Amino acid sequence: MQLSNELINDLQHMIEKASRERLSRDDLKTVCEHLGISKLYYDVDFEDDFRFRDNRVGKVVADEEIEGNKIMLYKDGQQTGLCLKYAYFFDDKEYVHSYQEFKIGVKKEDLDLEALKLFADLLYLLMSRRNMRKMLDISQNSDALTGIPNVVFLQKKYKELTRTIPEEDLLLIRLNLQNFRYVNDVAGGRAGDEAIIQYSRKLCTFVADDEAVCRLGGDNYVLVIRKKNLEAVQRKLGSVLISNLKSAPGVTFNISTWMGISEAVKGRRRPFFERLNEASAACELAKGKLKKPVVYFDDELVEAISKSRKILSMFRPAIQKREFVPFFQAKVDMRNGELVGFEALCRWIHEGHFIYPDQFIPVLDKNSLIPELDITIFKATCSAIRQWKNMGYDVPVISSNFSKKNLYVMDIDERIADIIDDFGLSPDCLEIEITESVKDTEYEQLMDFIRKLKNKGIRISIDDFGTGYSSLSLIHNINADVIKIDRSFVDKLPDDRRSRILIESIINIADRLHMSVIAEGVENEKQGRALLEMGCNKAQGYYYSKPVDFEAATKLLESTAFRPMSE
Ligand code: C2E
Ligand code: CA
Ligand code: CA
């Protein structure tokens, strides 16, 4: 075969072109024609007995080396032809990157090795560029931990889908895993990562080709699905089993989700991120305030969002106008009806009507404004104690609530101690209620907070005890004075066995650790008696008194006592 310098020139040009832009199939075809190549294979797995794309099996009958490249004859059925294999060796392993099959009749002597080598270089360049592009594409479009698509990919896919599918047929769903931190708490962070990977893979199988999934990070995902498939997907999401984790063998976690759904309005095209924001807002409410597994972004939700914006804008002026005041709820020793304390609970009195904590506490908490409120209520509580003392009353210990956001407030212990000092009070007439913490990351801070306040002589009470996962293990390490049994357990008394078992074990441990126990939310005698039987003597609840204002609380200080719980 006569090969011209022209061909070599052409090849060199092609290599240059390939480093700048894509080569067409036709470019390659022409060169193959000139080189006598009838078939070209590259970027495929080769074996010695290689399998052709059309499934013929070629058997190598002889091979020989030409300048580091293997040239071999292979037998294909009746015919014998010439092939050239380009390979490199690494760690004694052969990596073939291209393979050329020559036209029948081409002989070894006919081959222009220089041109063939150039051609092989060109193929290698194309291949590595393609792989590089693939890798880049993967890293830009997929989540690093799980390898499933990320939001960049989902946005593109959404655009692509809406070209053929009407927007109103597609639901955009934001997912958050329910109680996922439980996996981290029980099995540790590494198991958490493993669980996320396993969950992500399963999640990908829930959607069809014309639907999509992505991971946003943490335990957050987004789905784009056809409306008609919602029920099926929801069923699958309701219970996903995660098991066989290397870092937690033998444990199976059953994971369900919070879902926030954005529906499209007919005839109104909206950008992807607008819908994602809607779905996220709905999901936030699903797991936060509403505690409902599925929440749609609708008019009701828009109103809830505008309400919380309103609260935020009203907050500072309300502090200045002293609209936040403490109400006081009695704590009673059920054995003799004696008033043993008060809990100060915040009320917002705005233009003559009440706004209750469940309407504003979560909003303030989320926006980190709550420490300011807590300090305001604490000051007002100290002021009330001062007044009662001046009026000559014997004032029992009064507790005040502090949100966990205070764990991150600098010198919070100093501020609290200064306020107590300013009102001329002794620290032991006050108690700080803080809710039980479950996050690993908060645990250290919680201990630190408690240690600092205790050093200042202030009592600590652990609120809503029993609602976190790690309660019973935590209690040993937390140096609190009081444990408040959560209302949700008291609610189910006297009959619920699980509540009884839990309450009994809390009382047991508290006794051993010399902590005092109080039950909250006692509404009737049956509950009170059940608690007494189990050894919890103190209670707070509507059975005795609702939270009342300063004047009504003064009357409670005056009156002799509540009615003892009959045995
Ligand atoms: P909490 O600290 O668990 O307070 C107990 C809540 O249960 C109070 O609701 C109280 O009125 C209510 N409660 C008491 N006895 C009964 C009963 O027998 N039955 C029923 N159904 N409920 C009863 P409230 O005052 O609406 O406060 C709700 C939550 O808001 C509080 O829960 C607390 O977490 C938070 N909160 C209130 N004031 C403050 C504050 O000044 N700072 C902070 N950070 N949180 C506060
Ligand atoms: Ca409380
Ligand atoms: Ca509570």
Ligand 1 atom closest to Cα of 402? 44
Which residues are CB-neighbours of 351 under 8 A, at least 6 positions away? none
Rounded mean pLDDT, 222-246: 94
Residue 306 has pLDDT above 70, yes or no: yes
541 lines ligand 1 (CB under 6 A): yes
User: Quick one: what percent of the chain has pLDDT higher than 70?
Assistant: 87
- DSSP letter at 149 equals B
Considering the chain, tell me which residue range(s) the CATH 3.20.20.450 domain(s) occupy. 306-559
Its pTM surpasses 0.85: no
Topology, domain 306-559: TIM Barrel (3.20.20)
Q: Is 542 in the pocket of ligand 1 (CB under 6 A)?
A: yes
**Are the C-beta atoms of residues 537 and 335 closer than 8 Å to each other?**
yes
- What's phi and psi for 343, nearest 5 deg? -110, 130
- Tokens 């100060």: give the residue: 344
Out of 68-72, 205-209, 263-267, 513-517, least confident range: 68-72
| Distance in Å, CA 487 to ligand 3 centroid | 7
Query: What's the rounded mean pLDDT across residues 176-184?
Result: 86
More confident residue, 127 or 512: 512
Report the pLDDT value the prediction gives residue 47, as an integer from 0 to 100.
Answer: 39
Amino acid 301: pLDDT: 81
Which ligand is closest in space to the CA of residue 373?
1
pLDDT at 495 over 60: yes
Which of 178, 176, 180 shows the shortest CA–CA distance to 193? 180
Q: Where in the chain is the domain with CATH 3.30.70.270?
A: 151-297
Task: Classify each residue of 338-358 as buried b or exposed e, where b means 16 or more C-beta atoms within 10 Å of its C-beta.
Answer: ebbbbbbbbbbbeeeeebeee
pLDDT category at 441 given cuts 50, 70, 90 is: low
330-340 pLDDT per residue, tens: 999 999 999 99
Tell me the average pLDDT across 227-246: 94
Percent of the chain scoring above 90 in pLDDT = 49
Q: Is the CB of 521 under 6 A from ligand 1?
A: yes
Q: What is the pLDDT of residue 299?
A: 80
- Cα-based angle 143, 148, 150 (whole degrees, multiple of 5): 50
Residue 94: its pLDDT value, please?
64
What's residue 68's pLDDT?
A: 58
Distance in Å, CA 520 to ligand 1 centroid? 9
Ligand 1 closest atom vs CA 345: 38
- Which of 325, 358, 361, 406 maximizes ligand 1 atoms within 8 Å of its Cβ, making it the mutation to test the pocket? 361
Distance (Å, whole) CA 223 – CA 276: 10
- Ligand 2 mean position, distance from CA 293 (Å): 27
What's the rounded Cα separation, in Å, for the pair 100 and 82? 9
Question: By three-state DSSP, how is residue 522 classified?
Answer: coil
CATH number for region 151-297: 3.30.70.270
* Per-position b or e across 411-446, b if 16+ CB within 10 A of its CB: ebbebbbebbeebebebebbbbbbbbbbeeeebeeb
CA nearest to 342, candidates 546, 563, 565, 560: 546
pLDDT 10s digits, 245-281:
888 888 899 999 999 999 987 777 788 998 999 999 8
The bridge status of strand 397-401 relative to strand 430-435 is: parallel
Instruction: Report the alpha-carbon distance of residue 5 to residue 304 in Å, rounded.
Output: 77
As a whole number, mean pLDDT of residues 532-545 equals 96
Question: Any idea which residue has 């200080």 for tokens?
Answer: 557
Residue 106 pLDDT more than 70?
yes
What is the best residue among 370, 401, 464, 549 to mutate for testing ligand 1's pocket, by most ligand atoms within 8 Å of CB?
401
Per-residue model confidence as pLDDT tens digits over 327-386: 999 999 999 999 999 999 999 999 999 999 998 998 898 888 999 999 999 999 999 999
The ligand 1 atom at the shortest distance from the C-alpha of residue 484 is: 3
Residues 6+ apart with CB under 8 A from 53: 41, 44
More confident residue, 535 or 33: 535
Q: Is 480 in the pocket of ligand 1 (CB under 6 A)?
A: no
pLDDT recorded at residue 53: 41
Distance CA 335, CA 493 (A): 18
More confident residue, 12 or 70: 12
pLDDT tens figures, 14-61:
777 776 777 777 777 888 888 888 887 765 444 333 444 444 445 555
Q: Please tell me if the CB atom of residue 523 comes closer than 6 angstroms to any atom of ligand 1.
A: yes
Give residue 3's pLDDT. Answer: 52
pLDDT, averaged across the chain: 85
Q: How far apart are the first and last CA of the chain?
A: 112
- Residue 78 is predicted with a pLDDT of 55
pLDDT at residue 48, rounded to an integer? 39
